[in-house]
C-alpha cells in the first residue's frame, strides 16, 4: 500500500527486454541499504517489485520488471532512458498517512486536456497549475468533487467534475518535487481511482 505522497523523482537508466517482459533500471536518491529485494516501490503510480539494487555516488539504482499486462495497460512500455518517474516507497505500519490509501494498481490512463497557470501572488512562490483531464469510461463515474484520485502516483484532490472531465490543482511545491512540472496538454497519466469509491460502487451494484 502507498499514500500517493511522492518521496523522490527517479530516472530510467536502462531498459532491456521486449513486449512480454522488460527489466528497468531506475536511478534515485534512496539509500540502497534501506531497500530490500522484493520490496514494492510505486513508479509513477505502478507498484513494481525490486529485483536488484546497488549504491551509487548520489543514492542508488534499483531494477524492476514489468510484465506484458503492465506494458500494455500503462505507460511503462514507453519508458526510455532519461524518463523521469514519481517514486514512493511502500507504506509501513506507523507511517504518516499524508495522502490517501493507494494500491499502486493502475486502472487506466487519463489525458491532460489543458494546463492553466494561476498567477502567483506577491509572495513570489511561483504559480499554481490547474490541470483539466479526461477520464476514460467507465472510470469517470468513480471521480467526485472533493474526492481523492491518484495520478502518476500523486495523491490529488478533485476540484471540479463535468461528465468525463475533471480538474486538479497543484501548488508550486508539488510541481517542483514531482514530474508534474513537466506535464502538458496531450500527455497521458496513470489513473488509480479511490479505493473507497471502488468498494462503494461494488456494494451499490450488488445491493
Q: Which three cell numbers stand for residue 180?
A: 508534474
Domains held by the chain: number: 2
> What CATH number is given to the structural domain containing 85?
2.40.30.20
Q: Look at residues 186, 184, 187 and name the one whose alpha carbon lies nearest to residue 175.
A: 184
Alpha carbons 79 and 179: distance in angstroms, whole number: 14
Q: What is the pLDDT of residues 187-198, one digit of tens each?
A: 999 999 998 877
Query: What's the pLDDT score for residue 33?
Result: 96
Last residue of a domain, one of 29, 57, 89: 89
Query: What's the pLDDT score for residue 121?
Result: 61
Same domain, 127 and 164: yes
Of these residues, 52, 54, 105, 200, which one is catalytic? 105
Alpha carbons 185 and 146: distance in angstroms, whole number: 23
Instruction: Give me the chain's average pLDDT, please.
Output: 93
Residue 142 lies in domain: 108-206
Same domain, 198 and 120: yes
Mapped onto helix, strand or coil, the DSSP state of residue 69 is helix
Is 47 one of the catalytic residues?
A: yes
Of these residues, 28, 42, 47, 129, which one is catalytic? 47
Alpha carbons 15 and 156: distance in angstroms, whole number: 30
Same domain, 71 and 132: no
| Residue whose cell numbers read 534499483 | 62
Q: Look at residues 94, 97, 95, 102 and name the one whose alpha carbon lies nearest to residue 196.
A: 102
Same domain, 81 and 133: no
Residues 6 or more apart whose Cβ sits within 8 Å of residue 128 = 117, 118, 120, 169, 170, 171, 172
Which residue positions in the chain have pLDDT lower than 50? none
Query: What's the pLDDT score for residue 6?
Result: 97
Q: Which three cell numbers stand for residue 178?
A: 514531482
Residue 103 within any structural domain of the chain: no
Query: Considering the entire predicted model, what is its pTM?
Result: 0.93
Is 34 one of the catalytic residues?
A: no
**Cis-peptide, bond into residue 186, ω within 30° of zero:** no
Is 28 one of the catalytic residues?
A: no
In angstroms, the first-to-last Cα distance of the chain is: 28
Alpha carbons 163 and 129: distance in angstroms, whole number: 21
Same domain, 39 and 126: no
Query: What's the pLDDT score for residue 76?
Result: 97
> Pairing state of beta strands 21-28 and 8-17?
antiparallel
Of these residues, 52, 54, 56, 67, which one is catalytic? 67
Is 40 one of the catalytic residues?
A: yes
Q: Which three cell numbers stand for residue 38?
A: 522484493
> Pairing state of beta strands 59-67 and 46-56?
antiparallel
Same domain, 201 and 154: yes
Residue 201 within any structural domain of the chain: yes
Q: What is the pLDDT of residues 140-186, one digit of tens each?
A: 999 999 999 999 999 999 999 999 999 999 999 999 999 999 999 99
Query: What's the pLDDT score for residue 122?
Result: 61
Amino acid at each position: 500500500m502507498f499514500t500517493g505522497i511522492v518521496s523522490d523523482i527517479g530516472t530510467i537508466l536502462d531498459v532491456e527486454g521486449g513486449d512480454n517482459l522488460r527489466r528497468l533500471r531506475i536511478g534515485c536518491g534512496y539509500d540502497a541499504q534501506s531497500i530490500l529485494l522484493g520490496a514494492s516501490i510505486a513508479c509513477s503510480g505502478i507498484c513494481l517489485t525490486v529485483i536488484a539494487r546497488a549504491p551509487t555516488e548520489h543514492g542508488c539504482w534499483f531494477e524492476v520488471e514489468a510484465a506484458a499486462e503492465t506494458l500494455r495497460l500503462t505507460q511503462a512500455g514507453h519508458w526510455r532512458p532519461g524518463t523521469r518517474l514519481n517514486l514512493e516507497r511502500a507504506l509501513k505500519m506507523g507511517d504518516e498517512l499524508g495522502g490517501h490509501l493507494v494500491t499502486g494498481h493502475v486502472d487506466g490512463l487519463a489525458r491532460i486536456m489543458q494546463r492553466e497557470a494561476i498567477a502567483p501572488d506577491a509572495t513570489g512562490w511561483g504559480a499554481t497549475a490547474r490541470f483539466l483531464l479526461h477520464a476514460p469510461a467507465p472510470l469517470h463515474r468513480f471521480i467526485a468533487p472533493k474526492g481523492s484520485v491518484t495520478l502518476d502516483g500523486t495523491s490529488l484532490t478533485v476540484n471540479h467534475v463535468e461528465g468525463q472531465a475533471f480538474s486538479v490543482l497543484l501548488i508550486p511545491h508539488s510541481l517542483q518535487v514531482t514530474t508534474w512540472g513537466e506535464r502538458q496538454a496531450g500527455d497521458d497519466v496513470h489513473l488509480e481511482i479511490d479505493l473507497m469509491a471502488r468498494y462503494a460502487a461494488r456494494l451499490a451494484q450488488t445491493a
